[in-house]
A and B are shown apart, each in its own frame.
Chain A
Amino acid sequence: QQQVKQSPQSLIVQKGGISIINCAYENTAFDYFPWYQQFPGKGPALLIAIRPDVSEKKEGRFTISFNKSAKQFSLHIMDSQPGDSATYFCAARVGSASKIIFGSGTRLSIRP
């Protein structure tokens, strides 16, 4: 119940296309859902985050879509660029806890 399931494991998208990464969870106590971006040799960096009372959040080319009833959320990267090539992690946190639980990651490659 403490898991966040992420798919796909890897994704290849053409430059200018839309990249979509999906995550699902079971624990309804999760109250904060961040997405992290990690480049090789670097630590993860927060990209965008959402709370379950909002169905969508957009920041530039990055959008989170959140479906509370289905317990699913997804990251959409519009107009994908080669510089977006990285590993993306969805995550979740229980409000009463401090730890953030990460998905297994999606390795995204944008082809020029």
Chain B
Amino acid sequence: DAGVTQSPTHLIKTRGQQVTLRCSPKSGHDTVSWYQQALGQGPQFIFQYYEEEERQRGNFPDRFSGHQFPNYSSELNVNALLLGDSALYLCASSLSPGVGELFFGEGSRLTVL
């Protein structure tokens, strides 16, 4: 049973560029949440997708956007990258939006130069 998979695992971008991160949820899960984890900090909620719609959003600017596909996989897009966007981006899936147990992937490490 495959868990949550994310790609790419590492990437380097320069300021002003755009990035797309991808996530496949755990088998049987239909809800995907994205978190940003800065070095030495706890994960910060970006947004959650369910039924191909953004259901809830954290305190992140509109430069952060996402998408969920009919197969429940998801993408996180970040435009106009800033140095402060350097972080580990974690995808988590769950059985439904209201279920508390999240299953995390290993993350995509983004470095913005």
Contact = CB atoms under 8 A, between A and B. Distances in A.
A98 B43 contact: no
B104 A98 contact: no
A98 B42 contact: no
A98 B90 contact: no
A3 B104 CA distance: 21
Contacts of A100: 33, 45, 100, 102
B: contact size bracket:
20 to 34
A98 B97 CA distance: 6
Given A42-B106, A46-B101, A93-B100, A99 B58 contact: yes
Contacts of B55: 98
Nearest to B55: A98
A104 B97 contact: no
A99 B31 CA distance: 12
A38 to B, nearest CB: 8
Interface string B1-29: 00010000000000000000000000000
A41 interface: yes
B56 A99 contact: yes
A49 B103 CA distance: 14
Contacts of B101: 34, 46, 49
Contacts of A16: none
Contacts of A44: 43, 90, 102, 104
A97 B104 contact: no
B105 interface: yes
Interface of A: 6, 32, 34, 41-46, 49, 89, 91, 93, 95, 97-105
24 contacts: A6-B42, A32-B100, A41-B106, A43-B4, A43-B92, A43-B106, A44-B104, A45-B104, A46-B102, A46-B103, A49-B100, A89-B42, A89-B43, A93-B100, A98-B31, A99-B33, A99-B56, A99-B58, A100-B33, A100-B45, A101-B45, A102-B43, A105-B40, A105-B42
